[in-house]
Amino acid sequence: MNLKLRNARITITGGKGFLGKHLIKAFQDKGCSKITVADLPEYNLVNMSDVKRLYVETEPDIVVHLAARVGGIGFNQENPATLFYDNIMMGTQMIHEGYLHGIEKFVALGTICAYPKFTPVPFREDDLWNGYPEETNAPYGLAKKMMLVQSQAYRRQYGFNSIFLLPVNLYGPGDNFDPRSSHVIPALIKKCIDAQKQGADAIEIWGTGQATREFFYVEDAARAIVEATENYNQSEPVNIGAGFEISIRDLVELITELTGYRGKIIWDHTKPDGQPRRMLDTTRALAEFGFRAETNFREGLKKTIAWYETTLVSPEEVAG
């Protein structure tokens, strides 16, 4: 890593979160020491006064904007307005105030939910505007995609150096296992382990299992963001992911195997599958800043399950 970036003051919004904790470590491993976390409750980035105070108090050279209001399909269905408003306000205000404060670089994290519902697989960045997103998460996806529009507009008019990265679904140690807002991998791990310790003979899964997803190990994602922060300086969006897809049905089989759950699987076909297929074309990330994912999916799942069992489940519960 170049000396200028090692000496830069880096502010990470959402730095207390799942990805944020791994990103801080990835920057530190590269020699960066001037890192500030801007997160709740100290900063509510939906409020402009908190955004302005963030820039005054942290005096960043570089901002990495991870902060977001997120959740799975059920959470998205119940909170579309909240997800749209909170995410669009955070992104818009953070970029604008970053420009006003003359920061050197803004790194915006988008979402795969920004892609059209029926995007050809693998998703290419050039397909981003070829249709409306999948309905269950469109408000969230579109709110995050507005950062791309703003990023490109501010570069064109003001010469503001901002970049826009599109990570696929993350997983790994430290993930969100709250059933009200967790994504599919932590939700499935929790279901399987809870069923075992409670002696349940069946678990219920939403949908048909036919939808496919790509999953990106969080340490790989952190490394991708660091590489892009150092080496990428254009407003064209860049996918970051692992470059594979797996059906939800196959994912359930793999997680039940790795957790040791042997009970029945009940598929609730009245619940939505979400987007039919998801997998990213990651060739631009490789070409532009040399990133390629390294973590084997099975090994990544093992590490995630082990973290959950040792961190969030007591030894007595695991044994019982």
What are the extents of the domains in the chain? 3-172+214-244+277-295
According to DSSP, residue 280 is labeled B
pLDDT digits (tens, 9 = 90+) for 252-272: 999 999 999 999 999 999 998
| DSSP assignments along 93-123, one per residue | HHHHHHHHTT-SEEEEE--GGGSBTTPPSSB
Least-confidence region, from 62-66, 178-182, 193-197: 178-182
Query: Which of the residues 55, 99, 115, 140 is marked catalytic?
Result: 140
Tell me whether strands 212-213 and 35-38 are parallel, antiparallel or unpaired: unpaired
- Stated pTM of the model: 0.92
Q: Does 318 have pLDDT greater than 50?
A: no
Q: Is 140 a catalytic residue?
A: yes
CA distances from 48 to 97, 153, 157, 285, 306 (A): 9, 20, 23, 33, 40
| pLDDT average, residue stretch 85-92 | 98
Stretch 223-232: mean pLDDT: 97
The predicted model gives 204-232 an average pLDDT of 96
The encoded tokens of residue 151 equal: 């990023």
The whole-angstrom separation of Cα 163 and Cα 148 is 8
pLDDT of 3: 72
pLDDT band at 314 (very low <50, low <70, confident <90, very high): low
Domain 3-172+214-244+277-295 has CATH 3.40.50.300: no
Q: How confident is the model at residue 313, as a pLDDT? A: 66
What phi-psi label fits residue 102: left (phi over 0), alpha (psi between -120 and 50 degrees) or beta?
A: left
Q: Determine the pLDDT at residue 202.
A: 95
**How does the average pLDDT of the chain come out, rounded?**
94
For residue 313 the two structure tokens come to 């489940």
Which of 1-5, 42-46, 174-178, 257-261 has the weakest average pLDDT? 1-5
